[in-house]
Structure formats: structure tokens, C-alpha cells
A = this chain, B = another copy of it.
Amino acid sequence: MSKILVFGHQNPDTDAIGAAIAFAHLQNELGKDTEAVALGTPSEETQYALDYFNVVAPRVVEAAGAGADVMLVDHNEFQQSISDIADTNILSVVDHHRIANFETANPLYYRAEPVGCTSTIVLKMYKEAGVSIPKEVAGMMVSAIISDTLLFKSPTCTPEDIQAAKELAELSEIDLDSYGLDMLKAGTKLSDKSAEVLLDLDAKSFPMNDKNVRIAQINTVDLDEVMSRQTELETAMEIACKTEGYDLFILVVTNILDSDSELLVFGEPKEKVEEAFGTKLVNNRALLKGVVSRKKQVVPQLTEAFA
């Protein structure tokens, strides 16, 4: 019997990897035989957390195999999941996103809550099961909460996330503010990366009406530095649209210090972007004050505009 694979979404962020590690550990403590894996290599931010807590990065997998038992964390939409997700047997999902393009043949465990981070829900599940959390697992979980909530600045952040982060910070023996800022900054070393790599750091696809919309997000402490590479980024977006079949590519560049984002948009229909955010694109760009959350401040608005 092969192990049950536990994984987060493609282009894994710190929650996709941290929640997979934490949920796999919980399931093993409850008697299952699972392995946390990842659908891509860790970002520099995630690698910072893995190194800090001396955790080995999960093995990268491309496919689970037909009929394989799997457990999903931090996502549910099939196009964000493992390549052969439709052929697997999904036992369990823990997530904090909307539900869409998700389907099973059988009843399953599904635990979703509208909180800022999957790891916040996983902490609750540890408590309900009465299972204690090792220091390094708690460290990956608190890193996930810091990452998803941008150190509590995102509108997706709930009081439960803050409380969970405090508890996990104690278990993992870190100072939230100093560790958190160091970890977030580790993910903003962008200048040595190609435009292709930047667009793929944290990107997800969303079917909206009959359009295939790609939304990538980059965190930075210097918006101008990223936008100085506009031409290079637009060329890479054009190529990605052609080769991957995206109709519309939206890059969300988020300043984690100011909590603002600038959009760079390629493809059509651009007017849906303008409609969604009540703004005009100038030179394919728009500054969105106070916008830091793709999930709460970008995807629903676009979905509405496309509806």
C-alpha cells in the first residue's frame, strides 16, 4: 500500500507547503500513512522557513497515479492541483478558498473555513484531535499564517489567524514580528530572477465565464524596482498567454510595507479589469490602494465583472 499523498496547490506558497507538512503529520498521528509532498519547489520565502526550522523540503511530485488516495490542502480547484487530480481518490480537503471546479465521486472529509490561512484550520483540527504539535511543524504553520496574512495586514486575516499565530509562535519559539518580517523579506529578492520566473512564483488560473484568467502575485518592498521591468514582464506575459492558452494575464505586484498593489495587465478583455476595480488602466497598469489579497480583493471582483 503506497502512502497517501498530501499536497497544496501548484506554485506552492508557504501555506501550501506548511499546511501539507502539518496536516500529514496530524494524519500520521491519527494512524494514517501519509507523506507531505509539493507540486513545485519552495519559494525563497518558504525555503527561509524550512531552513530556519531545519525541515527538509517536501518531495516534488508531478502526478499521483490513477486511483491514488490523496489529501488536498490550501486549494480545491482542479486546475490548481496535481495534473491527474481527476483520476485520484480524494479522501480529504482542508482549505480556506472559494470552492469551484471541484468534484468527487464519493463522500469525503472537507473542512473549509473563511479564515486567512489553511494552517489556522489545521491548528484547530490538532486541538480537536488532542494531538500535540512538534516545534518544527508549529514553525511551518506560523510561517504559513505570516505569509498568507502578510503579517496580519491582509484583509483576509481574521482574529482566529492572529490567535493561532500567537499560539504557534510560542510553540515554535519565535518572535512573530522580527521572524515574520525577515521571512517575508526573504521572498522579495526579485532582481536576480527572470520575468518568466517572477510570473510563476505565485500564480493561479481561474476560469471566468469562457475566459482563462491567470493571476500572478509578487511581494516586494520596492514597487518601482519591479515596474522598471515592465517591458520584459509584458513580453513574458504574452508568451505565457500564447503557450498556455491564457486569455488575460494579471500581475499583482504587492508592496508588503505599504499594503498597496499595482496591476500589470496583458490580454483581453482588459475592460473587465477596469470594471472590477473601478479604475482605468494607464499604460496597462493601475495602482490599487489597500489591495494586498488576491483571494479577497482581486478574484471575487473579477468573477463578478465576468459574470
What residues of chain A have their CB less than 8 Å away from a CB belonging to chain B?
Answer: 96-114, 128, 295-296, 300, 303-304
Residues in chain B near residue A296, CB distance under 8 A = 107
- Say yes or no: A295 contacts B107, CB within 8 Å: yes
- Say yes or no: A114 contacts B105, CB within 8 Å: no
Residues in chain B near residue A113, CB distance under 8 A = 107, 109
Contact of A300 among B105, B111, B112 (CB under 8 A): B105
- The answer for the CA separation of A296 and B105 in the assembled complex, in Å, is 10
Q: Given A99-B99, A128-B128, are A303 and B114 also a contact pair (CB < 8 Å)? A: no
- Say yes or no: A104 contacts B114, CB within 8 Å: no
Q: Using CB atoms, name the residue of chain B closest to A128.
A: B128
Contact of A304 among B104, B105, B112, B128 (CB under 8 A): B105
- Say yes or no: A114 contacts B107, CB within 8 Å: yes
- Say yes or no: B104 contacts A99, CB within 8 Å: yes
A179 to chain B, nearest CB (A): 27
- The answer for the CA separation of A102 and B99 in the assembled complex, in Å, is 7
Known: A98-B103, A105-B300. 16 other contacts (CB 8 A): A97-B107, A99-B102, A99-B103, A99-B104, A100-B104, A102-B102, A105-B303, A107-B113, A107-B114, A107-B295, A107-B296, A108-B112, A108-B114, A110-B112, A111-B111, A128-B128
A63 to chain B, nearest CB (A): 19
Can you identify 10 A-B contacts, CB atoms within 8 angstroms?
A98-B103, A99-B103, A99-B108, A105-B300, A107-B112, A107-B114, A107-B296, A108-B112, A110-B111, A111-B112
A112 to chain B, nearest CB (A): 4
- Say yes or no: A103 contacts B103, CB within 8 Å: no
